[in-house]
A and B are shown apart, each in its own frame.
Chain A
Amino acid sequence: GQQLNQSPQSMFIQEGEDVSMNCTSSSIFNTWLWYKQDPGEGPVLLIALYKAGELTSNGRLTAQFGITRKDSFLNISASIPSDVGIYFCAGQWDDKIIFGKGTRLHILP
Chain B
Amino acid sequence: DAKTTQPPSMDCAEGRAANLPCNHSTISGNEYVYWYRQIHSQGPQYIIHGLKNNETNEMASLIITEDRKSSTLILPHATLRDTAVYYCIVRVASSGGSNYKLTFGKGTLLTVNP
Whether chain B is bound by chain A comes out as no
Listed in ascending order, the chain A residues whose CB lies under 8 Å from chain B are: none
Listed in ascending order, the chain B residues whose CB lies under 8 Å from chain A are: none
